Structure 1
Amino acid sequence: MYSGTILIIDDDVRNIFALSATLQVRGFTCYTAVSAQQGIALLENHPDIDIVLLDMMMPEMDGYEAIPLLKACSAAPVIAVTAQAMIGDREKCLAAGADDYISKPIDVDKLMLVLSAHIKQVD
């Protein structure tokens, strides 16, 4: 079982629903935002957020623009979540400041490995 608070930022509500349901069943508390701007506001107002799952391809402000703003208001690790899974995309996300990377469609086992590297596990 896990413990922690996760902010999911994704412009697709279906992705938010699937991710939050998956994470809540495993013991996480989830906040959600449908835009980077909304996510930044949530992060600023909720210092209890332990980690951010950030969709990299969103309208208005994409993940590459959002990462430095998220990092400026919180020490929470930012995990890039993207359908871009070509050679070099992981490196591009990390170069933009992401702490880790996971591609869509999300493999839940891989997601849990990434999260466990950044959030403590509760026995």
Structure 2
Amino acid sequence: MAQKSLLLIDDDTELSALLKNYLEPQGYRLTMAHTGPAGLDLATGGQHFDLILLDVMLPETDGFEVLKTLRRTHLTPVLMLTARGDDFDRILGLELGADDYLPKPFNSRELSARIKAICRRMELLPASSQQQCLAIDELLLDPATQKASVQGRELALTGTEFAMLHLLMANQGKLVSKQHLSEKIMGRRLSAFDRSIDMHVSNLRRKLADVQPKERIRTLRGSGYMLVEIR
């Protein structure tokens, strides 16, 4: 695996140093910033990062504002680091476009697993470029360019959202369980209180509705989701 470049935005300098010592021997290159503005400057300054690790509680500009500003121009995968037990932080981070979240304090091996899962998901997107375009009604998804559009208008999807839409479109008219989505998209089994799949689907719905306000993703309560035709 080629060396991955990570950006850690966290004001805890001791934790940052520990993570640097833990992650770099695994083949990651870690750049650090300790304030929101400094992290945002690095994230948008032209340097490529495969993943951003973003703490919520930051001085000057908090993690939510950093993510909100970042998503206006960049779709770089983001793993939010949130306060343990604070569901509001986790849900808000996903609503703003985070790819995943991890509560603090966290186990370093769990962090490594989350990083690997997100990076693996991003690596699989180019591999899908050999697949044919998917078209349902006026919704078009092109794996070769990793772009999706409705009525010719491109959707600004994160890598996680693109992978989820691809899976739903490939199974159009069929139930796709939350468990299957979690394993294929998030790289882990769905836990009892994990809202990540629901929030990613909600974001997809919102972006689709911004272009064409018709229901495309149907919820089968307690089971999963189904992408349907709108004719």
Q: Does 1:29 align with 2:32?
A: no
- Structure 1 vs Structure 2: percent identity of aligned residues? 32
Q: Which has the larger radius of gyration?
A: 2
Once residues 103 and 87 of structure 2 are traced to their aligned partners in structure 1, the CA distance between those partners, rounded to angstroms, is 12
Kept in 1, the 8 Å contact 2:82–2:90? The answer is no
Once residues 112 and 56 of structure 1 are traced to their aligned partners in structure 2, the CA distance between those partners, rounded to angstroms, is 19
CA RMSD of aligned residues (A): 2.0
Question: What residue number does 1:81 align with?
Answer: 81
Equivalenced residues, count: 121
Residues 38 and 32 from structure 1, CA distance in 2 versus in 1: closer, same or farther, beyond 3 angstroms? same
Kept in 2, the 8 Å contact 1:36–1:62? The answer is yes
Kept in 2, the 8 Å contact 1:3–1:120? The answer is no
Kept in 1, the 8 Å contact 2:84–2:105? The answer is no
TM-score by structure 2 length? 0.48
Once residues 120 and 87 of structure 1 are traced to their aligned partners in structure 2, the CA distance between those partners, rounded to angstroms, is 26
Residues 69 and 89 from structure 1, CA distance in 2 versus in 1: closer, same or farther, beyond 3 angstroms? closer
Once residues 105 and 28 of structure 1 are traced to their aligned partners in structure 2, the CA distance between those partners, rounded to angstroms, is 21
Once residues 88 and 29 of structure 1 are traced to their aligned partners in structure 2, the CA distance between those partners, rounded to angstroms, is 31
Deviation at 1:91, TM superposition (A): 1.8
Once residues 49 and 87 of structure 1 are traced to their aligned partners in structure 2, the CA distance between those partners, rounded to angstroms, is 27
TM-score by structure 1 length? 0.85
Q: Does 1:45 align with 2:45?
A: yes
Unaligned 5+ segments in structure 1 are: none
Unaligned 5+ segments in structure 2 are: 122-231
Kept in 2, the 8 Å contact 1:5–1:29? The answer is yes
Residues 8 and 31 from structure 1, CA distance in 2 versus in 1: closer, same or farther, beyond 3 angstroms? same
| 1:77-100 Cα distance to aligned partner (Å, 9 max, x none) | 111112243344422221232110
Question: What residue number does 1:97 align with?
Answer: 97
Question: What residue number does 1:6 align with?
Answer: 6
Bigger relative contact order (CA 8 A; separation at least 6):
1
